[in-house]
Amino acid sequence: MKCLTDSTEERIKEAAKMVFLEKGFDGTTTRDIAQAAGINSALMNYYFRSKEKLFQSIFNDVCTLMFKGMLELINQPISLRDKISKLMDHQFQMMMQNPNLTIFIMNELRLNPERLYGTIGMAKQVPESIFHQQIEDAIAQGIITPIDSHHILTMIIANIQFLFVSKPMTMLAQGLDEAGFNAFATRHMEYVKDMICEYLFKPEPVT
């Protein structure tokens, strides 16, 4: 499907990632993957022992794609305002490139929570980072409203991610095409950026 220089194993993973993301684990057959990869259906079992093992490999990759960039941003030594803005920008770009990344992860996780074992460490790192301390400091200095960092992170994530989780619904309800949705999403991101920052950074610290 992509460049022909890829090894067979890599071609299988690429195809599997595509098909799994589109149809989910239960909706995907091993023959779907073989066809998408242009390989014999026995090769999937040759390189990865089973559909489940292949899925775990893909799922770890996808979770890493999801969290790695976020984690890096979260630990950057930049101002809170910048960090929040960049976190939201990063999610937005990531989701524009792969709109069903989040709903895929969340749904597979719901169907089978133990599947996060491979990436659970990464997920746990997110809340326990520099970000947390940064928030605490800002609160102590009276710069932002006193809220636990978990809630702030949830706000940052929810207001971007749900846009894409509900993309089909939004398009149907508002009668939008792809371009229309993108415009809506772009506008929305600016609004929620403002909303979150205005909520956290109160205009007048009443001293």
Binding site for DNA (CB under 7 A): 8, 28-31, 39-43, 45-46, 49-52
- Taking contact as CB under 8 A, which single stretch among the options 8-16, 52-60, 84-92, 148-156 is the one that binds a copy of itself? 148-156
163 binds a copy of itself (CB under 8 A): yes
* Residue placing its CB nearer to a copy of itself in the complex, 57 or 91: 91
- Terminal Cα distance for the chain, rounded: 62
Identify the residue among 26, 77, 97, 206 touching a copy of itself (CB under 8 A): 26
Residue 199, SS3 per DSSP: helix
**Choices 10-18, 42-50, 51-59, 122-130 (CB under 8 A): range interacting with a copy of itself:** 122-130
Which residues, other chains included, contact 140 with Cβ-Cβ below 8 Å and sequence gap of 6+? none
Measured from the CB atom, the residue of 39 and 196 that comes closer to a copy of itself is 196
Burial 118-130 (b: 16+ CB within 10 A, else e): ebeebeeebeebe
For residue 201, state whether it binds a copy of itself (rule: CB under 8 A): no
Count the helix, strand and coil residues of the chain and give each as a percent rounded to the nearest 5. 75, 0, 25
Q: How far is residue 56's CA from residue 29's CA, in Å, rounded to a whole number?
A: 15
Q: Which does 51 bind (CB under 5 to 8 A by kind): a copy of itself, DNA, none?
A: DNA
